[in-house]
A and B are shown apart, each in its own frame.
Chain A
Amino acid sequence: MNKKLIGALLFLLPVVTLGQNSRPAQLTVKDIQGRHIRLSDYRGKVVLVNFWATWCPPCRAEIPDLIRLQRDYGRRGLQVIGVTYPPQKLEEVRGFVRRAKVNYPIGLGTKETKSLFSPSETLPMTVVIGTDGRIRDIIEGILLAEEFEQKIKPMLK
Protein backbone atom coordinates (compact mmCIF):
# COMPACT_ATOMS: atom_id res chain seq x y z
CA MET A 1 0.00 0.00 0.00
CA ASN A 2 2.78 2.33 1.00
CA LYS A 3 4.62 1.36 -2.16
CA LYS A 4 1.56 2.31 -4.22
CA LEU A 5 1.36 5.63 -2.48
CA ILE A 6 5.04 6.29 -3.05
CA GLY A 7 4.62 5.22 -6.68
CA ALA A 8 1.71 7.63 -7.12
CA LEU A 9 3.71 10.43 -5.58
CA LEU A 10 6.65 9.70 -7.86
CA PHE A 11 4.27 9.66 -10.82
CA LEU A 12 3.15 13.11 -9.86
CA LEU A 13 6.69 14.39 -10.27
CA PRO A 14 7.64 17.02 -11.32
CA VAL A 15 6.39 18.62 -8.17
CA VAL A 16 5.82 22.25 -8.71
CA THR A 17 4.72 24.74 -6.19
CA LEU A 18 4.84 28.25 -7.36
CA GLY A 19 4.26 31.18 -5.16
CA GLN A 20 3.07 34.50 -6.43
CA ASN A 21 5.60 37.29 -6.76
CA SER A 22 5.34 37.79 -3.01
CA ARG A 23 7.33 34.63 -2.30
CA PRO A 24 10.06 32.74 -4.11
CA ALA A 25 9.04 30.40 -6.91
CA GLN A 26 9.67 26.73 -6.23
CA LEU A 27 10.22 24.12 -8.86
CA THR A 28 11.45 20.56 -8.72
CA VAL A 29 11.66 18.48 -11.89
CA LYS A 30 13.58 15.39 -12.86
CA ASP A 31 16.31 15.85 -15.42
CA ILE A 32 16.99 13.57 -18.39
CA GLN A 33 19.28 11.43 -16.20
CA GLY A 34 16.64 11.02 -13.50
CA ARG A 35 18.22 13.47 -11.07
CA HIS A 36 16.29 16.28 -9.44
CA ILE A 37 16.62 19.88 -10.52
CA ARG A 38 15.56 22.23 -7.74
CA LEU A 39 15.12 25.92 -8.33
CA SER A 40 16.12 26.57 -4.72
CA ASP A 41 19.62 25.25 -5.52
CA TYR A 42 20.12 28.25 -7.80
CA ARG A 43 19.22 30.98 -5.29
CA GLY A 44 21.53 33.95 -5.81
CA LYS A 45 21.54 33.48 -9.57
CA VAL A 46 19.32 34.98 -12.24
CA VAL A 47 17.50 31.93 -13.57
CA LEU A 48 15.81 31.59 -16.94
CA VAL A 49 13.36 28.69 -16.89
CA ASN A 50 12.82 27.98 -20.58
CA PHE A 51 9.82 25.84 -21.52
CA TRP A 52 10.40 24.11 -24.84
CA ALA A 53 9.72 20.98 -26.90
CA THR A 54 11.65 19.18 -29.60
CA TRP A 55 8.57 19.39 -31.89
CA CYS A 56 8.39 23.20 -31.59
CA PRO A 57 10.42 24.92 -34.36
CA PRO A 58 10.92 28.26 -32.54
CA CYS A 59 12.01 26.38 -29.39
CA ARG A 60 14.68 24.54 -31.38
CA ALA A 61 15.74 27.78 -33.09
CA GLU A 62 16.10 29.53 -29.74
CA ILE A 63 18.31 26.93 -28.06
CA PRO A 64 21.63 27.97 -29.68
CA ASP A 65 21.01 31.48 -28.32
CA LEU A 66 20.34 30.11 -24.83
CA ILE A 67 23.53 28.02 -25.03
CA ARG A 68 25.43 31.18 -25.96
CA LEU A 69 23.85 33.16 -23.12
CA GLN A 70 24.76 30.43 -20.62
CA ARG A 71 28.32 30.37 -21.92
CA ASP A 72 28.78 34.16 -22.03
CA TYR A 73 26.88 35.19 -18.89
CA GLY A 74 27.18 32.15 -16.61
CA ARG A 75 30.05 33.81 -14.76
CA ARG A 76 27.89 36.87 -14.22
CA GLY A 77 25.29 34.80 -12.41
CA LEU A 78 23.00 33.63 -15.22
CA GLN A 79 21.60 30.12 -15.10
CA VAL A 80 19.39 28.69 -17.84
CA ILE A 81 17.21 25.69 -17.03
CA GLY A 82 15.28 24.02 -19.85
CA VAL A 83 11.98 22.30 -19.03
CA THR A 84 10.27 20.21 -21.69
CA TYR A 85 6.60 20.42 -22.59
CA PRO A 86 4.65 17.30 -23.60
CA PRO A 87 4.12 15.23 -25.66
CA GLN A 88 7.78 14.43 -25.46
CA LYS A 89 9.76 11.21 -25.63
CA LEU A 90 12.74 11.04 -23.31
CA GLU A 91 14.97 9.55 -26.01
CA GLU A 92 14.15 12.41 -28.41
CA VAL A 93 15.04 14.94 -25.72
CA ARG A 94 18.28 13.16 -24.90
CA GLY A 95 19.21 12.96 -28.59
CA PHE A 96 18.46 16.62 -29.20
CA VAL A 97 20.36 17.76 -26.11
CA ARG A 98 23.38 15.69 -27.15
CA ARG A 99 23.36 16.92 -30.77
CA ALA A 100 22.83 20.56 -29.85
CA LYS A 101 25.46 20.33 -27.07
CA VAL A 102 23.15 21.97 -24.56
CA ASN A 103 25.26 23.35 -21.71
CA TYR A 104 22.54 23.77 -19.08
CA PRO A 105 20.25 21.38 -17.18
CA ILE A 106 17.17 20.00 -18.92
CA GLY A 107 14.17 18.93 -16.83
CA LEU A 108 11.15 16.93 -17.91
CA GLY A 109 8.00 18.97 -17.42
CA THR A 110 4.28 18.43 -17.73
CA LYS A 111 1.47 20.73 -18.87
CA GLU A 112 0.85 21.43 -15.20
CA THR A 113 4.46 22.49 -14.68
CA LYS A 114 4.06 25.25 -17.24
CA SER A 115 0.49 26.21 -16.37
CA LEU A 116 1.51 26.96 -12.81
CA PHE A 117 3.79 29.68 -14.13
CA SER A 118 1.37 30.96 -16.75
CA PRO A 119 -1.99 29.95 -18.26
CA SER A 120 -0.61 30.76 -21.71
CA GLU A 121 0.08 27.82 -24.00
CA THR A 122 2.72 29.67 -26.00
CA LEU A 123 6.02 27.91 -26.66
CA PRO A 124 8.76 28.70 -26.09
CA MET A 125 8.17 30.56 -22.86
CA THR A 126 10.86 31.83 -20.51
CA VAL A 127 10.28 32.63 -16.86
CA VAL A 128 12.81 35.11 -15.51
CA ILE A 129 13.62 34.56 -11.84
CA GLY A 130 15.64 37.06 -9.84
CA THR A 131 18.47 36.35 -7.40
CA ASP A 132 15.90 36.41 -4.59
CA GLY A 133 13.99 33.56 -6.23
CA ARG A 134 11.04 35.69 -7.23
CA ILE A 135 9.53 35.78 -10.71
CA ARG A 136 10.53 38.99 -12.47
CA ASP A 137 9.10 38.43 -15.92
CA ILE A 138 7.51 35.90 -18.23
CA ILE A 139 8.64 36.15 -21.83
CA GLU A 140 6.42 34.48 -24.42
CA GLY A 141 7.92 33.37 -27.71
CA ILE A 142 11.60 33.46 -28.60
CA LEU A 143 13.69 35.59 -26.26
CA LEU A 144 14.78 38.47 -28.48
CA ALA A 145 18.25 40.00 -28.11
CA GLU A 146 16.76 43.35 -27.15
CA GLU A 147 14.62 41.70 -24.46
CA PHE A 148 17.72 40.13 -22.96
CA GLU A 149 19.53 43.48 -23.03
CA GLN A 150 16.64 45.38 -21.47
CA LYS A 151 15.13 42.91 -19.03
CA ILE A 152 17.79 40.40 -18.01
CA LYS A 153 21.27 41.87 -18.47
CA PRO A 154 20.71 44.67 -15.91
CA MET A 155 20.00 41.99 -13.28
CA LEU A 156 23.38 40.30 -13.79
CA LYS A 157 26.61 41.02 -11.87
Chain B
Amino acid sequence: MKSKSIVLVTAVILMIAFTSIGALAITKKSTIRVEGMKCSKCTASVEKALKATPGVERVELNLERKEAVVEYDDAKVTESKLREVINATGFKAVEEKPDSQ
Protein backbone atom coordinates (compact mmCIF):
# COMPACT_ATOMS: atom_id res chain seq x y z
CA MET B 1 0.00 0.00 0.00
CA LYS B 2 2.79 2.34 0.98
CA SER B 3 4.82 1.51 -2.14
CA LYS B 4 1.76 2.19 -4.31
CA SER B 5 1.46 5.64 -2.76
CA ILE B 6 5.13 6.33 -3.40
CA VAL B 7 4.75 5.34 -7.06
CA LEU B 8 1.67 7.55 -7.39
CA VAL B 9 3.35 10.56 -5.77
CA THR B 10 6.44 10.07 -7.95
CA ALA B 11 4.26 9.91 -11.06
CA VAL B 12 2.47 13.12 -10.09
CA ILE B 13 5.79 14.88 -9.40
CA LEU B 14 7.16 13.76 -12.77
CA MET B 15 4.01 14.94 -14.54
CA ILE B 16 4.23 18.35 -12.91
CA ALA B 17 7.93 18.56 -13.78
CA PHE B 18 7.33 17.76 -17.48
CA THR B 19 4.42 20.20 -17.66
CA SER B 20 6.57 22.93 -16.12
CA ILE B 21 9.35 22.31 -18.64
CA GLY B 22 6.80 22.75 -21.46
CA ALA B 23 5.46 25.92 -19.92
CA LEU B 24 8.98 27.29 -19.57
CA ALA B 25 9.69 26.96 -23.30
CA ILE B 26 10.65 30.46 -24.32
CA THR B 27 9.68 32.10 -27.58
CA LYS B 28 12.65 33.94 -28.96
CA LYS B 29 12.33 37.03 -31.11
CA SER B 30 14.87 38.04 -33.72
CA THR B 31 14.99 41.00 -36.04
CA ILE B 32 16.83 40.06 -39.20
CA ARG B 33 17.85 42.66 -41.74
CA VAL B 34 17.02 41.53 -45.26
CA GLU B 35 19.03 43.12 -48.04
CA GLY B 36 17.24 43.71 -51.34
CA MET B 37 13.76 43.46 -49.86
CA LYS B 38 12.33 46.51 -51.58
CA CYS B 39 9.74 44.97 -53.87
CA SER B 40 6.36 44.59 -52.18
CA LYS B 41 5.30 42.05 -54.81
CA CYS B 42 8.20 39.76 -53.88
CA THR B 43 8.10 39.69 -50.08
CA ALA B 44 5.37 37.04 -49.84
CA SER B 45 7.98 34.37 -50.49
CA VAL B 46 10.04 35.40 -47.45
CA GLU B 47 7.01 35.32 -45.16
CA LYS B 48 5.78 32.05 -46.65
CA ALA B 49 9.15 30.30 -46.38
CA LEU B 50 9.67 31.46 -42.79
CA LYS B 51 6.15 30.44 -41.74
CA ALA B 52 6.68 27.00 -43.28
CA THR B 53 9.78 26.49 -41.13
CA PRO B 54 9.09 24.24 -38.12
CA GLY B 55 9.38 26.21 -34.89
CA VAL B 56 8.47 29.58 -36.38
CA GLU B 57 5.49 31.05 -34.60
CA ARG B 58 5.09 34.55 -36.01
CA VAL B 59 6.57 36.55 -38.87
CA GLU B 60 6.31 40.25 -39.52
CA LEU B 61 8.03 41.94 -42.43
CA ASN B 62 8.88 45.62 -42.45
CA LEU B 63 9.54 46.61 -46.03
CA GLU B 64 10.50 50.18 -45.12
CA ARG B 65 13.16 49.06 -42.67
CA LYS B 66 13.97 45.95 -44.70
CA GLU B 67 13.56 43.76 -41.65
CA ALA B 68 11.97 40.46 -40.80
CA VAL B 69 10.82 40.13 -37.20
CA VAL B 70 10.50 36.45 -36.36
CA GLU B 71 9.21 34.82 -33.21
CA TYR B 72 10.26 31.20 -32.86
CA ASP B 73 10.85 28.31 -30.53
CA ASP B 74 14.62 28.19 -30.25
CA ALA B 75 14.45 24.54 -29.23
CA LYS B 76 13.18 23.76 -32.74
CA VAL B 77 14.91 26.28 -34.97
CA THR B 78 17.95 28.52 -34.76
CA GLU B 79 18.44 32.06 -35.95
CA SER B 80 21.12 30.77 -38.28
CA LYS B 81 18.55 28.45 -39.90
CA LEU B 82 16.14 31.40 -40.28
CA ARG B 83 18.82 33.32 -42.17
CA GLU B 84 19.36 30.30 -44.42
CA VAL B 85 15.63 30.18 -45.15
CA ILE B 86 15.62 33.89 -46.05
CA ASN B 87 18.69 33.50 -48.27
CA ALA B 88 16.99 30.64 -50.12
CA THR B 89 14.25 33.05 -51.20
CA GLY B 90 16.76 35.09 -53.18
CA PHE B 91 17.25 37.87 -50.64
CA LYS B 92 20.16 38.21 -48.25
CA ALA B 93 19.87 38.10 -44.48
CA VAL B 94 22.78 40.34 -43.62
CA GLU B 95 22.48 41.24 -40.00
CA GLU B 96 20.92 40.03 -36.82
CA LYS B 97 19.59 42.02 -33.92
CA PRO B 98 18.70 39.62 -31.16
CA ASP B 99 15.93 40.89 -28.91
CA SER B 100 15.75 39.14 -25.58
CA GLN B 101 12.30 38.35 -24.35
Pair from one complex = yes
CB contacts under 8 Å to A, within B11-58, are: 36, 39-42, 44-49, 52
Determine if A73 is an interface residue (Cβ-Cβ < 8 Å): no
Within the complex, the shortest CB–CB distance from A115 to chain B, in Å, comes to 12
In the complex, A156 Cα to B40 Cα: how many Å?
33
> Contact partner of A142 among B36, B41, B45, CB < 8 A?
B45
Q: Are B49 and A144 in contact (CB under 8 A)?
A: yes
Q: Are A56 and B39 in contact (CB under 8 A)?
A: yes
Given A56-B39, A121-B41, residue A61 in contact with residue B88 (CB < 8 A): yes
**Residues in A whose Cβ lies below 8 Å from that of B98:** none
Please give the number of chain A residues whose Cβ is less than 8 angstroms from any Cβ of chain B in the complex: 17
Given A56-B39, A57-B36, A146-B52, residue A141 in contact with residue B44 (CB < 8 A): yes
Please give the number of chain B residues whose Cβ is less than 8 angstroms from any Cβ of chain A in the complex: 16
In the complex, A123 Cα to B90 Cα: how many Å?
12
Q: Which of B36, B48, B49 has the most CB of A within 10 A?
A: B48
Q: Determine the residue in chain B with the shortest Cβ distance to A56.
A: B42
Determine if A133 is an interface residue (Cβ-Cβ < 8 Å): no
Q: Are B41 and A57 in contact (CB under 8 A)?
A: no
In the complex, A56 Cα to B89 Cα: how many Å?
10
Determine if A124 is an interface residue (Cβ-Cβ < 8 Å): yes
Q: Determine the residue in chain B with the shortest Cβ distance to A123.
A: B41
Determine if A60 is an interface residue (Cβ-Cβ < 8 Å): yes
In the complex, A105 Cα to B25 Cα: how many Å?
49
Q: Which of B36, B42, B52, B91 has the most CB of A within 10 A?
A: B42
> Contact partner of A55 among B39, B47, B49, B52, CB < 8 A?
B39
Q: Are A142 and B49 in contact (CB under 8 A)?
A: yes
Q: Determine the residue in chain A with the shortest Cβ distance to B40.
A: A121
Q: What 0/1 pattern do residues 57 to 97 of B give for CB contact below 8 A with A?
A: 00000000000000000000000000000001111000000
**Residues in B whose Cβ lies below 8 Å from that of A146:** 52
Q: Are A57 and B89 in contact (CB under 8 A)?
A: yes
In the complex, A141 Cα to B42 Cα: how many Å?
7
A residues at B contact (CB < 8 Å): 55-62, 121-124, 140-142, 144, 146
10 A-B residue pairs with Cβ-Cβ distance under 8 Å, sorted by A, are A58-B45, A59-B42, A61-B45, A61-B90, A121-B40, A123-B39, A123-B42, A141-B48, A142-B45, A144-B52
What 6 new A-B contacts, CB under 8 Å, besides A57-B90, A123-B39, A123-B41?
A57-B39, A58-B42, A58-B90, A122-B44, A123-B42, A141-B45
